[in-house]
Amino acid sequence: MSLISQLPVFRISVQSSEMAVREALQKLLDGLGPLALDVEESGTVELVMAEALNNIVEHAYPPSDPAGPIHITCMHAKDGLHLTVVDHGRGMPDGQTPLGAAANLDVDLCDMPEGGFGWFLIKDLAKDVAYQRVEPENHLTLRLAVAVS
Amino acid sequence: MDLRTRSENNLQVVSVHDSRIDAAVAIEFKDAMRASTDGGDDTVVLDLSEVQFIDSSGLGAIVAAMKHMGPARKLALAGLTPTVDKVFRLTRMDSVFSVFPTLDGALKELNP
């Protein structure tokens, strides 16, 4: 993997909260400014990272636990953006990410799913999704095939 | 969450005057939709043309709004911007709702 020099590696840190997700996404998109992503690419980045960060706010730092830090590291390489998200909250159940299967929509209106789309979107849009519990941290890494050369 | 409602030829148009329907406002959006659509016309067109971003929580809130309206009523979506459209396409929720590129198109189609 060879680095492209035009965008240096950058890091964003926020304290877990719903509004912090918006702040982190804005900082991430601002940091990617030099790449001049088109709306399709920036939409992919924002969507995948929104889902990853929302999951942390909701499950790693549930309301019953104190809030904690979320660190995002972004590196641009020839095959796209390599993103690492680290938090100090609760680990994934069973030590792995949910499968992220597509929801079954062939159901009556009253049974239509209102959730469970997050991991589906992450796994559909991102490549090389990997999760590791490194006590006391969660490490999620993924690649987004945008701004590839 | 700023929702504005108007009635046009037995269609209720609910326009979202916010740029995001995300986890931070999903519950607020769901409540506002409930308040806007209760007792309204059978067909509701949700105008999303000002919404630049939606996440899975926002998507879930729109599904919840449709379910709350019940099977006898219809919720159509209009004016999806690129990232909003992407979320509906990828989750195949565009097959559950009637989706129209523009509000004008939706009004013409639903009320010929």
User: Would you tell me the crossing angle of helices B82-90 and B56-69 to the nearest 10 degrees?
Assistant: 70
Q: Let me know if residue B110 belongs to a domain.
A: no
Contact of A120 with B91, CB cutoff 8 Å: yes
When pLDDT is cut at 50, 70 and 90, the band that residue A2 belongs to is low
Q: Let me know if residue B15 belongs to a domain.
A: yes
The answer, for B83 touching chain A at a CB cutoff of 8 Å, is yes
Beta strands A80-87 and A127-134 are unpaired
**Interchain pair B92, A102: CB under 8 A:** yes
Per CB-CB distance under 8 Å, the chain A contacts of B66 are: 109, 112
Q: Let me know if residue B112 belongs to a domain.
A: no
- Does residue A4 carry a pLDDT above 60? no
Q: Which of A106, A147, A129 is nearest to A48 (CA)?
A: A129
User: Which of B21, B69, B91, B94 should one mutate to test binding to chain A, selecting the residue with the greatest count of A CBs within 10 A?
Assistant: B91
More confident residue, A100 or B82: B82
What gap in Å lies between CA A31 and CA A81, rounded to an integer?
12
Please state the pTM of the whole predicted model: 0.94
Question: Residue B111 has what pLDDT?
Answer: 82
Count of domains observed in chain A: 1
Contact of A44 with A83, CB cutoff 8 Å: no
Q: Let me know if residue A44 belongs to a domain.
A: yes
Count of domains observed in chain B: 1
Per CB-CB distance under 8 Å, the chain A contacts of B90 are: 120-121, 124-125
User: Would you tell me the crossing angle of helices A118-125 and B82-90 to the nearest 10 degrees?
Assistant: 100
What gap in Å lies between CA B49 and CA A114, rounded to an integer?
22
Q: Which of B41, B40, B22, B47 is nearest to B101 (CA)?
A: B47
Which amino acid does the sequence have at A24? A
Contact of B18 with B51, CB cutoff 8 Å: yes
CATH number at residue B41: 3.30.750.24
Domain extent at residue B24: 3-105
Q: Let me know if residue A95 belongs to a domain.
A: yes
Q: Let me know if residue A3 belongs to a domain.
A: no
Question: Residue B42 has what pLDDT?
Answer: 93
Q: Let me know if residue A51 belongs to a domain.
A: yes
- Does residue A113 carry a pLDDT above 60? yes
Per CB-CB distance under 8 Å, the chain A contacts of B70 are: 109
User: Which of B51, B57, B80, B92 should one mutate to test binding to chain A, selecting the residue with the greatest count of A CBs within 10 A?
Assistant: B57
Q: Please give the full DSSP string across A110-125, using - where no structure is assigned.
A: GG--SS--HHHHHHHH
Beta strands A10-15 and B43-47 are unpaired
Q: Let me know if residue A71 belongs to a domain.
A: yes
Burial class (CB in 10 A: 0-12, 13-18, 19+), A88: middle
Question: Residue A99 has what pLDDT?
Answer: 86
Instruction: Tell me if the bond preceding A136 is cis, omega within 30° of 0.
Output: yes
What's the average model confidence in pLDDT over A17-43? 96
Q: Is B68 helix (H, G, I), strand (E, B) or coil?
A: helix
CATH number at residue A122: 3.30.565.10
Per CB-CB distance under 8 Å, the chain B contacts of A110 are: 67, 71
**Interchain pair A43, B82: CB under 8 A:** yes
Domain extent at residue A26: 10-144
Contact of B87 with A47, CB cutoff 8 Å: yes
What's the average model confidence in pLDDT over A84-90? 98
